[in-house]
Structure 1
Amino acid sequence: MKTRLLLPAAGMGLRLGCDGPKALVDLDGRPMLAVTLDRFAGLDLALPVIITAPADFFPLFDAALANARPALPWRLVAGGADRQESVALGLAVLEGDADIVVIHDAARPFVAAQSILDSITAAQAHGAATVAVPVVDTILEADAEAFLAATPDRSRLWACQTPQTFRLEVILEAHRRAAAEGHCGTDDASLVRRMGLPVKLVRGTPENIKVTTPYDLRTARWMVREGKP
């Protein structure tokens, strides 16, 4: 099956305290996006990688990536107003040119190759899959006034990661329905599940962090310097 990679990278780094695209923050001398791209080197992917990014920053993305020399060629596609729209715009470029699409956050530069491969295998078998990890903390559900409302059974709870991998026709239809119904989800797998289709959970690793806060960025820079994972 022809497998393509889509990296949403249109988010700005406001919570990181920077005024540019989050995907281009420095990780020990290289833009985070280049570090993420390198994680997919050596896998059986059809190229180029599709990267959704803010159109006004295309020259900055091209220059940063060219200087960093990531392992895979890329093509920039203008992102939308939010992540869901950006993914939909990237999927539109892939329509008719892929069987399987791997969607991975550009801000997760430490994904394991085995997690990627497992998600592809699961999507081939089930149509949709997401990498996730069982939660280790007790999760509390609060009411509107921040009082404890319920304590869900931790044994059934997983923390969502990426990649999320799909048969292309499945995720295209999920996005079309969400757009038509005005629904905005927090991830792509949830759009598939709301259609009533199964989504297989693939066990990931705790190192597959998403760089969102200044603490995450400090952690990521340390991981790069220490050669982890």
Structure 2
Amino acid sequence: MKTTAIVLAAGSGSRMKSSVKKQYMEIKGKPLILYAIEAFENSFIDEIVIVLPAEDIEDVSHNIIAPGQFGKIKAIVPGGNTRYHSVRLGLEAASADTEAVFIHDGARPFVDDEMLARALDAVEEFGACVVGMPVKDTIKIADEDGFAKVTPDRNKTWLIQTPQVFLYPEILNLYEELADKEHELLAQNINITDDAMVMETLGTRKVKLVEGSYNNIKITTPEDISQAESILEKKFKKI
């Protein structure tokens, strides 16, 4: 299958409380966004589309992602007002003959070949999948007043990660449909928070859950930087 990775890095990273946007913060001397890009560059993925804040594209293209540094980057495009707007813009920039698309948060630096291979196998068999891991803790669903209301079965509860992987023509069509139905869904209090939910809400396929890694963390707060550095130190010790 021809594969495209959409690397999403168009957010502001406000929870990081830093003057530098989190996607450009350095972890062990390297900007965060480069970890995911390098992982896809060195994998079986055929092409990469990067989604950035519009005002950052020129600077990043010259100073972080140097011209000629990555052979698989097809396009760097501006993001939208929300995550799913950014995903749609990234999807529209992919090659028309793409068969499977890997949608990935640029703030997850530790995607790896094994994870990508499991996801590819799953999308070939099921047409839609997301990586994640079973939760380790008991989860509570709160009511409107902040009291515990429901305790879901921990054995059936997963922590969802990215990449989330779909047959390209299907997910592109669903995102175009989402653009038309956005206000209708919001009026029904349906807030799309990830790509799997687009398929669950508008599509017809079940989304297969595929093992990711507990190290496949998303960098969101300053504490996550320390955890990422610890993961890298352990990785380097194994090499």
- TM exceeding 0.5: yes
Secondary structure of the residue aligned to 1:61 is helix
Secondary structure of the residue aligned to 1:175 is helix
1:191 to 179, 198, 213: 198
* TM-score, normalised with respect to structure 2: 0.88
Equivalent runs, 1:1-229 vs 2, <5 Å? 1-47=1-47, 49-62=48-61, 63-66=63-66, 69=69, 73=73, 75-94=75-94, 96-182=96-182, 183=185, 184-194=191-201, 195-227=203-235
Secondary structure of the residue aligned to 2:7 is strand
User: What is the alpha-carbon distance in structure 1 between the residues aligned to residue 5 and residue 141 of structure 2?
Assistant: 35
User: How far does residue 98 in structure 1 lie from its aligned partner after superposition?
Assistant: 0.5
> Residue 46 of structure 2 contacts residue 72 of structure 2 at CA under 8 Å; is this kept in 1?
no
Structure 2 residue ranges without an equivalent (≥5): 186-190
User: What is the alpha-carbon distance in structure 1 between the residues aligned to residue 175 and residue 46 of structure 2?
Assistant: 22
> Residue 80 of structure 2 contacts residue 89 of structure 2 at CA under 8 Å; is this kept in 1?
yes
User: What is the alpha-carbon distance in structure 2 between the residues aligned to residue 213 and residue 127 of structure 1?
Assistant: 33
Q: How many residues align?
A: 227
* TM-score, normalised with respect to structure 1: 0.92
> Residue 75 of structure 2 contacts residue 93 of structure 2 at CA under 8 Å; is this kept in 1?
no
Secondary structure of the residue aligned to 2:50 is strand
> Residue 16 of structure 1 contacts residue 217 of structure 1 at CA under 8 Å; is this kept in 2?
no
User: What is the alpha-carbon distance in structure 2 between the residues aligned to residue 71 and residue 210 of structure 1?
Assistant: 26
> Residue 4 of structure 2 contacts residue 102 of structure 2 at CA under 8 Å; is this kept in 1?
yes
User: What is the alpha-carbon distance in structure 2 between the residues aligned to residue 156 and residue 227 of structure 1?
Assistant: 30
User: What is the alpha-carbon distance in structure 1 between the residues aligned to residue 49 and residue 208 of structure 2?
Assistant: 24
Q: Percent identity?
A: 34
Root-mean-square deviation (CA, aligned residues, Å) is 1.9
Structure 1 residue ranges without an equivalent (≥5): none
Secondary structure of the residue aligned to 1:18 is coil
User: How far does residue 71 in structure 1 lie from its aligned partner after superposition?
Assistant: 7.8
